[in-house]
Amino acid sequence: MKVAVVGATGMVGNIMMNVLKERNFPFSELIMVASERSVGKKLSFDGIDYDVVGLHTALDMKPDLALFSAGGDTSLEWAPRFAEVGTIVVDNSSVWRMNPANKLVVPEINGKALTVHDKVIANPNCSTIQLVLALKPLHEKYGAKRVVVSTYQSITGTGVKATSQLENERNRTEGEMAYPYPIDKNCLPHCDDFTDNGYTKEEMKLTRETKKILDEAINVTATAVRVPVVGGHSESVNVEFENDFDLTEVRQLLHNQEGITLKDDPTTNTYPMPMYAEGKDDVFVGRIRRDESQANTLNMWVVSDNLRKGAATNAVQIAELLVEKNILKTAGING
């Protein structure tokens, strides 16, 4: 099996390769793909030096699987071209997510729906993935009606330019700005571009993607905030249910949910934090409590490493499902 990582020189692309190795994903050939300005460079991975190739070269190599993390414009143009030569594409951009013809997949929730007909599969937004994974068992049991979510998002969601800005500010050096304001010692209620309705694209992704993945009937409203954190995204989540709930049962449902780690004991100051989630693949949930201002309503705090489960790991888990369902053929291959 030939596996191409498109955007291999980026933050998510690099982690995708690490996750492929960590999870022992079966491949016979790894193709490092990046923009033309990176073609010819060497990338060292698992003790082997790889030549970075461009999209045209990678397309001619006809990989079996392509993990895309190279931006929306690249995905819009190139994902269909790879699909045409028989490649299955798992795309981390937003361009295919709301297309009715493309599945939007969190493996623990709707991965079973994947079929041989799915050629371009959308990886959800990082903030959406952790939100829907925490909501899934509770929605199935109690019926979620309305979700109010406020995010506290890591600068790594913006990329290398943002991490450089934070480092420059802390070192008091001049440099290129990823944001319109300083991020160190600050919070920006501004993730992605603003839209005509006053919400940002990030906030609307949380709304629309949650509906597509879980249930169109769930009403979702969001405020997305960028914070000077590196380790992961945090979310304050308020959920109104159709039916009342028992907090002990809520904790048990979350504990039993694949991909969730429960960290919820106020008596020992046990709750999720980005510094704990960084480098891990689970979604962490804590601060579980009843909203005393409204019936059938729950508050919880949800944290996840946005570069791993929020991007790279979820994409590789989708690929693993394709292997498990025999959509990607691995016979005779030793990864």
Catalytic residue numbers, as ranges: 126, 233
What are 191's strand-pairing partners?
Answer: none
Q: Per the structure block, which two tokens stand in for 202?
A: 């990030």
Of 68, 8, 65, nearest to 34 by C-alpha is 8
CA 148 → CA 269, 272, 330, distances in Å? Answer: 25, 19, 43
Contacts 24+ apart (CB under 8 A), 214-220: 214/109, 214/132, 214/135, 214/136, 214/139, 214/144, 215/139, 215/144, 217/145, 218/139, 218/144, 218/145, 218/146, 218/147, 219/145, 219/146, 219/147, 220/146, 220/147, 220/149
Of 66, 93, 56, nearest to 4 by C-alpha is 66
Of 331, 311, 314, 328, nearest to 13 by C-alpha is 311
Cβ-based neighbour number of residue 100 at 10 Å: 6
Rounded Cα–Cα distance for residues 5 and 303 (Å): 26
Type of residue numbered 85: V
Rounded Cα–Cα distance for residues 180 and 144 (Å): 36
